[in-house]
Structure 1
Amino acid sequence: MSDDASSPTPRTPRAEVRERLLVAGADVFAESGVHGARLDDVAARAGFSKGAVYSNFSSKQDLVAQVMQRSTNRILAALQEVVREDVAATSIADVVRAAFGRYDQGRQFALVSELRGYALRHPEFMPEFVRQRRELQDGVLDLVRLWFGAHPEVEPGMPLEDFATLLVGANVGIVFDGPALPGVNPGDVIASLVDAVVRPRR
């Protein structure tokens, strides 16, 4: 049987439409800034009309929040893949090096910087920005607690809450100063930090 050229094109599943819009939103926001980005540009980048944006998100700010949530989820998922209870104490620095150094974080940092700027200029968005950054911090803290809980033979040289905060803060700072630190890999620096903090329990 020959294909019927007049048959309708299959409808793109809603979940795929939404995911493509989120990916496009992240790219456009990182490149043009949230303020300068137009929903037409996001829709076109995803291969849809602007109506697709409004059928999946209630507003531009809703799209911004969901783009950020997708980014937060992906970062935590990547960390959870490599930081596990069964990672030996002798290997944890190498695992952390892989977790923080496996990706080019420049584009991700550009997006987060734009979201931070948007939150500063739109106070109504700041609680959402804070919630998601807290979610990231808490997720890293959960991984730190999980790993140290499985390894009573070692201890940190500081409270676990401070250690988790330092891991995130050091990574952000190194990526921020990346242009002034040619050849510096955030993973290598974070691994050195872990080596300095994790020590045999006395």
Structure 2
Amino acid sequence: MTDAPTPELSGQHEDRAPSVPRTPRAEVRERLLAAGARVFAEQGVHEARLDEIAAAAGFSKGAVYSNFASKEDLVAQVMQRATNTVLHSLQELVGTDVTPDRIGDVVRAAFDRHDQAAQFALLSELRGYAMRHPEFLPEFVRQRRHLQDGVRDLVHTWFGAHPEVDPGMPLDVFAVLLIAANTGMVFDAPAVDGTDPGEAVAALVEAVVRPR
């Protein structure tokens, strides 16, 4: 009795489906977060479905549960991503080497980096969700304070490196006003035709940054 020839010896080859590279987990998570931000902003957090978010990211619903404990966890991480994006952008641009005569242009550049309307739409939805879901409110407050602390640190660092500049007010107050001016200008943008939010906030900064 002879052994049957193997496919390799007989010239026959098994058909094998080409292997599909697995998407790195970090990339899956980032795509889900980006899709979550878009869907939450467009549909609202309450109306958004996880399968829609997964599909928008190019995955199945199981990918969401493989990366996030729940919808609430995804909401929190989407907000954290948005907060980090703003802070990282400011930290990259507002260095101590930025001279007082350039600080206004740096603020304009920070606004140009991101779609302010889309960011505000997401923030509005997250704020509304936090008001309707008290269990999420502490996370919303924590992240807003994280943003405020980051902006305050940048303000203190920059002014500390430029003692020749007089802000005319306590630096903590100035930091709060910057965030409030940013949020308020984007909120009212449709009602103030022709006024660019970035230009308005830059003008505020330039008015405050004066030689002693």
Say whether the fold is shared (TM-score over 0.5): yes
Separation in 1, partners of 2:16, 2:85: 40
In the alignment, what sits opposite 1:21?
Answer: 32
Displacement after TM superposition at 1:200 (Å):
1.5
In the alignment, what sits opposite 1:39?
Answer: 50
Give the total of aligned pairs: 198
Displacement after TM superposition at 1:5 (Å):
5.5
Listed as ranges, the matches of 1:1-202 within 5 Å are 6-201=17-212
Consecutive unaligned residues of structure 1, counting only runs of 5 or more, are none
Consecutive unaligned residues of structure 2, counting only runs of 5 or more, are 1-14
Report the identity percentage: 72
Separation in 2, partners of 1:79, 1:95: 9
Change (3 A) 1:184 1:5: farther
Separation in 2, partners of 1:52, 1:99: 33
Q: SS of the counterpart of 2:22? A: coil
Post-superposition Cα deviations, 1:147-199, rounded to whole Å, max 9, x if no partner, equal 10100111211100000000010010000011111221112111211122122
Counterpart contact for 1:100–1:190, Cα < 8 Å? no
Greater relative CO (CA pairs within 8 A, separation 6+):
1
Looking at CA atoms only, which structure, 1 or 2, has the larger radius of gyration? Answer: 2
Separation in 2, partners of 1:5, 1:30: 43
Amino acid at match of 1:78: S
Separation in 2, partners of 1:21, 1:142: 30
Displacement after TM superposition at 1:100 (Å):
3.0
Counterpart contact for 1:100–1:171, Cα < 8 Å? no
Displacement after TM superposition at 1:101 (Å):
4.3
- What is the Cα-based RMSD across aligned positions, in Å? 1.2
Amino acid at match of 1:46: A
